[in-house]
Amino acid sequence: MPVIRLEGVTKTYITGEVTATALSQITLDIEVGEFTAIVGPSGSGKTTLLQLMGCLDRPDSGVIQINGRDVTRLEADQRADLRREQIGFIFQFFALIPVLSAYENVELPLLLNDVDADERRRRVTELLDAVGLADKANRRPDQLSGGEQQRVAIARALAPRPSLVLADEPTANLDTENGRQVMQIMQRLNEQTGTAFVFATHDPRVVSFARRVIRLRDGRVVDDGVQVPEATSWAADDYGMDSPGSCSLSFC
């Protein structure tokens, strides 16, 4: 069973007189453990697709299933419940709660999911360790660099053990080195946890990390295929094993 299945999904935005078809007739499956890039020019519908997959919004037509359950017409609260339990989000801006420390940000989804205190402490510690921020757990977001903030966001997205993590241009606001580090951490956590990752990007170096690439144009899938990460790309650099906090996760 795929983690998420889209069948004939269409989304149209109407602003005043203007109607813009952001997505039309999208049909695709995301399988367990995938590491998939969605690419396409600006306005091709990447963000819209991730929002629909993440149950942040509802399609105009078509069907969306998550782990076999039809979620197409769920009400706002039911979609919130689904996001809380099944889906992790990473955004282009470093979407941390500014008044909470790194630790508290990672813990927040666990609190929302009523995870008990011991389990929370274990998972937050492990995840902060995994993204190499164990020593900065008590810092507030404004005391962290962009790359560090994005790593906290990755830890937070994974904390509730979702079946799917959606990342919308996660490296767009990072420099080359930090971007690579973020992608490597995502890749490693994908392998260790088996959580499916879907990320939207413009950046060919980010695309090179993916094992599957879905190309969008004008709201349609124009290409969808597997690839082997290129040897000359970012992803091939032997960095992974020395990267900060490259521990294995006990709860995987």
Partner 1 sequence: MAWRRLWVIGARDLMRNRRRTALSLIAVALGMALLMVLNGLVQGALEDALQYSIRYQTGHVQVRKDSYEEEKLSLKWKDLLEEPEALAARAQALPEVKYAAPVLWLNGIVNTSDDSAGVRVFGIDVSSPVYQPIRDATTAGAFLTADDRNGILIGKRLADELGVDVGRKIVLDIVDASGRAQESTFIIRGLFTTGLPFYDQNSIFLPIAKAQAFAGTGDRASAVVVMLRHADQADKVTAALQGPGLKVLTWKDLNAILLATARVGLSFYYILDLIVMLIVAVIIANTLLMAVFERVREIGILSALGMRSAQIRIMFLLEAILLGMAGILAGAMVGSIGVAYLAHVGLAIGDVATVGGGAYLMGTRMYARFMPGLFAGLGAATLFVVVLAALYPAWFASRLEPVEALRAL
Ligand X SMILES: Nc1ncnc2c1ncn2[C@@H]1O[C@H](COP(=O)(O)OP(=O)(O)OP(=O)(O)O)[C@@H](O)[C@H]1O
Nearest Cα to 164, choosing from 38, 6, 4, 46?
4
Quick note: the x/- pattern for ligand X over 40-79, rule CB under 6 A, is: x-xxxxxxx-------------------------------
Query: In angstroms, what is the minimal distance from the CB of 193 to partner 1?
Result: 18
Whichever of 40 and 109 has its CB closer to partner 1, that residue is: 109
Query: Of 56, 74, 213, 249, which one interacts with partner 1 (CB under 8 A)?
Result: 56
Interaction between residue 111 and partner 1 (CB under 8 A): yes
Rounded CA separation 14/18 (Å) = 6
Provide the CA 106 distance to its chain's centre, in angstroms. Answer: 15
Whichever of 15 and 248 has its CB closer to ligand X, that residue is: 15
* Sheet arrangement for strand 61-66: 18-30, 4-15, 61-66, 69-70
Whichever of 48 and 101 has its CB closer to Mg ion, that residue is: 48
Q: Please give the size of the binding site for ligand X, defined by CB under 6 A.
A: 12
Q: What residues numbered 153-182 form the site for partner 1, per CB under 8 A?
A: 156, 160
Whichever of 127 and 165 has its CB closer to ligand X, that residue is: 165
Interaction between residue 51 and partner 1 (CB under 8 A): yes
Interaction between residue 47 and Mg ion (CB under 5 A): yes
Whichever of 201 and 208 has its CB closer to partner 1, that residue is: 201
Query: Of ligand X, partner 1, Mg ion, none, which one sits near residue 82, judging by CB under 5 to 8 A according to partner kind?
Result: partner 1
Query: Of 4, 6, 22, 127, which one interacts with ligand X (CB under 6 A)?
Result: 22
Q: Please give the size of the binding site for Mg ion, defined by CB under 5 A.
A: 2
Whichever of 24 and 101 has its CB closer to Mg ion, that residue is: 24
Burial 151-190 (b: 16+ CB within 10 A, else e): bbbbbbbbbbbbbbbbbbbbbebbeeebbbbbbbbbbbbb
Q: State the helix-helix crossing angle for 146-158 and 176-193, rounded to 10 degrees.
A: 10
Q: What is the dihedral of CA 245, 140, 118, 167, to 10 degrees?
A: -60
Interaction between residue 171 and Mg ion (CB under 5 A): no
For tokens 């049909």, the residue is 27
Interaction between residue 9 and ligand X (CB under 6 A): no
Quick note: the x/- pattern for partner 1 over 60-79, rule CB under 8 A, is: ----------------xx--
What are residue 9's phi and psi, to 5 degrees?
Answer: -80, 130
For tokens 């909470």, the residue is 100
Query: What are the residues whose beta carbons fall under 8 Å from the beta carbon of 6, sequence distance 6 or more?
Result: 26, 27, 28, 29, 52, 53, 62, 63, 64
Whichever of 48 and 208 has its CB closer to ligand X, that residue is: 48
Rounded CA separation 178/113 (Å) = 30
Q: Where are the alpha helices (DSSP H) in the chain?
A: 46-53, 76-86, 102-112, 117-130, 146-158, 176-193, 204-207
Q: What residues numbered 220-239 form the site for ligand X, per CB under 6 A?
A: none
Question: Residue numbers of the site for ligand X (CB under 6 A)?
Answer: 13, 15, 20, 22, 40, 42-48
